[in-house]
Amino acid sequence: MLNKFLVLALLLPIWFSPPGASSSPADQPVVHAVLFYSPTCGHCHKVITETISPLVEQYGEQFYIVGVDISQPQGLAMFQAALEYFKLESGGVPFLVIGDTYLIGSIDIPEQLPGMIEQYLAQGGLDWPSIPGFAEAMAAAEPAQTEQAATPAPVQETAPAAPTSAPAVPTPTAPPAAPITSNYSNLSPWERLALDPIGNGLAVIVLAAMIVSAIAGAIFLLRASAVPQLPAREWLIPALCIIGMLVAGYLAYVETAHVEAVCGPVGDCNTVQQSEYARLFGILPIGVLGLVGYVMILLAWGVERWANRQLSGYASLAIFGMAAFGLLFSIYLTFLEPFVIGATCAWCLTSAVIMTAVFWLSLAPAKDNFKLLGDLFRLPSNKG
């Protein structure tokens, strides 16, 4: 039943049933739906494989769905039209539209879609959603569908009449294989940047500021003159760490609980959090790593403040080392957002700014205590 999905490369990167699929026997009601997805969205892949595919298998000709890739300009434009249609300022994927209702995320869609299909089938079926521009896109895609349908597909031979121990039965394949990987790699970094000019532009500004901070910090450490120390450093570092813990803790919750993040007016944090880059080595959620980092810096600050002079010096060096690593890692992550993912997370930018500030505050004490590193690694001399 899943072979009714095709990958279409005309006006929109969409997958849906072939021509005539929306016309089922008169005695069978049909429910239609549209799913907006991103190729880098792990939640989208989960919804398509674990929810959409089984429903297509279950309902067959009575359930038809179109997938729209929002990483493509045309798909993004249609997604924005859908958001405007529902009077939403922003939204993440997976975003499913069925009738005049929308469902978002890997929780609401699996929980509510099966019941809605049953409800609409009992009511006699449901036509395609009234998303502005959707009907025109479907009409424009019709010639490509017709041409593709005119080319007969290879016919698999049926099993012979004589019984065999393992008859050749075609195994259905889930539809996400094409949508999840299709077309996104064709976008250049500048095209990904243009997917969200405001949010990605802000990410570029923060990225440039962090790169300048890293270079300037290295210059200050290498110069003979002392690095100025802010009087407010004693309370700024713990305050920043607490704020950073709240931000990273929320992101850790979003990544581990697989829920939709609350995004601000700028950027699309859900696309970032649902991308493959939201986990280090595909295992550790970045939010968890950030939370651990802020906790460790706060603990080192406590040692620096209340321990003896030598331990305090080592704690200052530890704060600088962790802040420097955090800054460099934030540079890497912030670069990915506009130029690789094509979306920006305001929560992530907030954490990057906080880590940059902690880095600057750690410079002066670290330079004052660099000699401790020499004492620590100096080999004992053999006398006599």
Which of 28-32, 280-284, 298-302, 351-355 has the least mean pLDDT? 280-284
Amino acid at 344: T
Residue 273 structure tokens: 């959090």
Quick: pLDDT tens for 176-211.
333 333 334 456 777 777 777 888 889 999 999 999
Residue labelled with tokens 């991103």: 38
pTM of the complete model beyond 0.85: no
Give the residue-averaged pLDDT of 355-379.
76
CA atoms of 227 and 330, how far apart (whole Å): 23
Quick: pLDDT tens for 304-332.
888 887 888 888 899 999 999 999 999 99
Quick: pLDDT tens for 86-142.
887 666 778 899 999 998 877 778 889 999 999 999 999 999 998 888 887 777 765
Q: Do residues 43 and 94 lie in contact, with contact meaning Cβ atoms separated by under 8 Å?
A: yes
Query: Which band of pLDDT confidence, cut at 50, 70 and 90, is reported for residue 228?
Result: low
CA atoms of 89 and 11, how far apart (whole Å): 25
Model pLDDT, residue 232: 75
Ordered structural domains, the chain, with CATH = 2-149+175-186 (3.40.30.10), 189-377 (1.20.1440.130)
Q: Is the pLDDT of residue 15 over 80?
A: no
CA atoms of 354 and 334, how far apart (whole Å): 13
Question: To which H or E segment does residue 20 belong?
Answer: none
CA atoms of 12 and 239, how far apart (whole Å): 48
List the end-to-end C-alpha distance of the chain, in Å, as a whole number. 87
Question: To which H or E segment does residue 31 belong?
Answer: strand 31-37
Model pLDDT, residue 367: 81
3-state secondary structure of 302: helix
What share of the chain has pLDDT > 90, as a percent? 29
